[in-house]
Amino acid sequence: MGKIEVMSEDLANKIAAGEVVEKTMNVVKELVENSIDAKSTEIKINLIDSGVKEITVIDDGIGMDKSDAVLAFSRHATSKLKTLEDLFYVSSLGFRGEALPSIASVSHVNLKTCNGSVGTEVEIEGGTIKEVGSSDLKKGTRITVTKLFYNTPVRLKYLKNLYTELANITDYVNKMALSFPNIKFVLTNNDKVLLNTDGRGNLLKVIGNIYGIELTKKMIYIDANNDDYEIKGYISYPECARTSKNNITVLVNGRSIRNSELTKIIIESYHTYIPESKYPIVVLNIETDPILIDVNIHPTKMDIKFSKIDTLKELINKAVKEKLETINLIPEIKEIYKEDENISSSIPLYNYEEESPKPNVLEYSLNLEVKEDKEDYNVLVKDEDENKFNDMPVKEEQADSNRIKKMYPVGVVHATYIIAENEDGMYIIDQHAAAERINYEKYLEKLTTHDNTSIDLLIPIKLEFSNKDYIILKENMQILTDMGFVIEEFGINTLLIRSHPYWLPDYAQEEAIKKIIDIVIMTEDFDNYKFIDRIAATLACKMSIKANDRITLTDMEDLLERLRNTKNPFTCPHGRPTIITYSNYELEKLFKRVMN
């Protein structure tokens, strides 16, 4: 007798459940997606003990008749795919017909549904239908899942604690609310409301429901397209960056997905605007022909494959960068007043590396040409989305090609923070961060123009290396030669630097050369842009004026004017802010010249 047998339906469903249902969030996900596919306009998710004890999903969709209600719990029974060709044009969230039988096989399920004419109730336990009867439910579907994993105790054992399960569910429902702002979502846990959207199609308002009004005021609308893709959504101001990538929400044709390539390109679009350990808040919806994507590569359908992904990445990168380059990004300090309490300030604290002052700060030249003064202007943040809040703040329009208005220095605090003013308010500028930004853009320009003009050294610089480092340098010597270095071998593991690029600072030639060589040695994968960027950022950091370096008022004026003329005057190359501001209104509130 042969050893191969067809497994039972019950066993097959339990195996499928292991792929589809791993935690309470997966149950919520599958049920909510069914509700969305049923054309619901309102979906309520009620949990007891984070869904471990009970999950109830109620919708006002099209519902089912009696035969469909029973058949829905059969494996691979679906209304969303009819032929093989349909698999290449999937527009629904679910389509495999595995979710309901998988959930039912490891729990107790009560289904009440009505298609507008007849109501049906189905009781299922462990995948077996126990009872089918009538229901008085109005049009829509109500499905309750209890005793989850009661017959698979090993899987129950590996459920996380209640807070983790609830966090996962909340995160998923948030993303679905962002995906479908035209659907009202209500999420409760133990009768406490965690999310309640109005379903009026206002994406920005849904962002406010999730993240709060203050952050909503710091979101920027983007809209771009090419021949294959259209992107719309919101990106946050750099100052709103968080410590988790989870706040980057990518939607494809309304489906919330995870795609490391797209997440990476969004983060890279914020390069130098935020620190490397921080991530923006982004809600980005990508619309495309279903034939260009494949959602059938994982049972959870959270990961998908793209055709022509390079054109999509280029579109996203360009759209985000162009938007960030057109608006005023100076963080504004606002005072928070509480009733019957003292004034409390919400001033953000920024940590800067303290370095000892140099003997002669005037040697730290910025070596930049000062552009002619032009009329001041503010960039207008247009209300490009008809769904934006009516009370959203609009920045004043500027009349100058610079991104920030001219600032006039009046003093300095702790030989580190320049205090400046103009008609709009008071500004605090970190002198090291500002000089770093100026020098970064200078070095980046020199490195990207591929001008390898060299300056001969009167006395060559001799550098010795370990065996390993010397081998790496020998392999990558052409990189240094292309930059304008003239280098000779000089004994065992020793190099002689005879010439260097003309743009290296005269006062710190050897230090700058060592920094560049260190980067060559430490770089494993030579991406030319990233390599050049790292050199520019490193040189800018090490060769700029530091905290505690004392400079004159004239130096401050020169520094601020050169900062205005940079492409991004708001952050240093590492993403730390160069400027923060108190508006005139906030200053008057501080001193109670205004009381509202």
Amino acid letter at 115? N
The CA-CA-CA angle for residues 371, 376, 379, to 5°, reads: 110
As a whole number of angstroms, the distance between CA 595 and CA 574 comes to: 38
Sign of the CA dihedral 542, 546, 550, 553? positive
* pLDDT at position 154: 65
pLDDT digits (tens, 9 = 90+) for 539-585: 898 888 999 999 999 999 999 999 999 999 999 999 999 999 999 99
What is the domain class of 9-198 according to CATH? Answer: alpha beta
| φ, ψ (nearest 5 deg) of residue 184 | -80, 120
Phi, psi of 584 (to 5 degrees): -55, -40
For the chain, the distance separating the N- and C-terminal CA atoms, rounded to the nearest angstrom, is: 88
- The whole-number pLDDT of residue 509 equals 84
Residue from 500, 499, 222, 494 nearest 384 by CA = 222
Please name the residue that has the structure tokens 């339906």: 9
Per-residue DSSP letters for 196-210?
E---SS-HHHHHHHH
Strands 42-48 and 184-189: parallel
Q: What is the pLDDT of residue 400?
A: 53
Q: Which residues, 6 or more positions from 261, have their beta carbon under 8 angstroms from its beta carbon?
A: 309, 313
Give 3-state DSSP helix, strand, coil % of the chain, rounded to 5: 35, 25, 40
pLDDT along the chain (596 residues), means of 10: 54 47 87 91 95 94 87 63 44 57 88 90 88 87 90 70 90 93 96 95 94 91 94 94 92 85 94 92 92 65 78 95 91 59 36 35 34 32 39 42 87 95 95 95 88 86 90 88 90 91 83 89 79 89 89 94 94 94 90 80
Cβ-proximal residues to 583 (8 Å cutoff; 6+ apart), any chain: 332, 424, 425
Q: What is the DSSP string of 383-425?
A: ---TTS-TT---PPPB-SSSSS---EEEEEETTTEEEEEETTE
From CA 534, how far away is CA 524, in angstroms rounded? 13
Output the pLDDT for position 377.
26
Q: How far apart are CA 361 and CA 416, in angstroms?
A: 13
pTM exceeding the 0.85 threshold for the entire prediction: no
Distance from C-alpha of 240 to C-alpha of 275, rounded to nearest angstrom: 12
Nearest-CA neighbor of 86 among 304, 301, 291, 252? Answer: 291
Q: Which part of the chain has CATH 3.30.565.10?
A: 9-198
How far is it, in rounded angstroms, from Cα 427 to Cα 394?
20
Residue 226: count other Cβ atoms within 10 Å of its Cβ. Answer: 13
With respect to CATH, is domain 218-324 assigned 3.30.230.10? yes
Provide the Cα torsion 487, 488, 491, 494; round to 10°.
Answer: 10
Q: What number of other Cβ atoms are within 10 A of residue 391's Cβ? A: 7
DSSP state of 484: T
Cα 560-564-569 angle, rounded to 5 deg: 100
- Portions of the chain given CATH number 3.30.230.10: 218-324
The pLDDT value given to residue 353? 36
**Tell me, what's the pLDDT at 479?**
87
Instruction: Provide the token pair at 232.
Output: 């719309």
pLDDT at 19: 46
For CA atoms 489, 490, 494, 495, the dihedral sign is: negative
CB within 8 A of 84, min separation 6: which ones?
A: none
CATH dotted code for 329-453+502-596: 3.30.1540.20
C-alpha 64/C-alpha 67 separation (Å) is 8
Candidates 213, 126, 150, 153; CA nearest to 391 is: 213
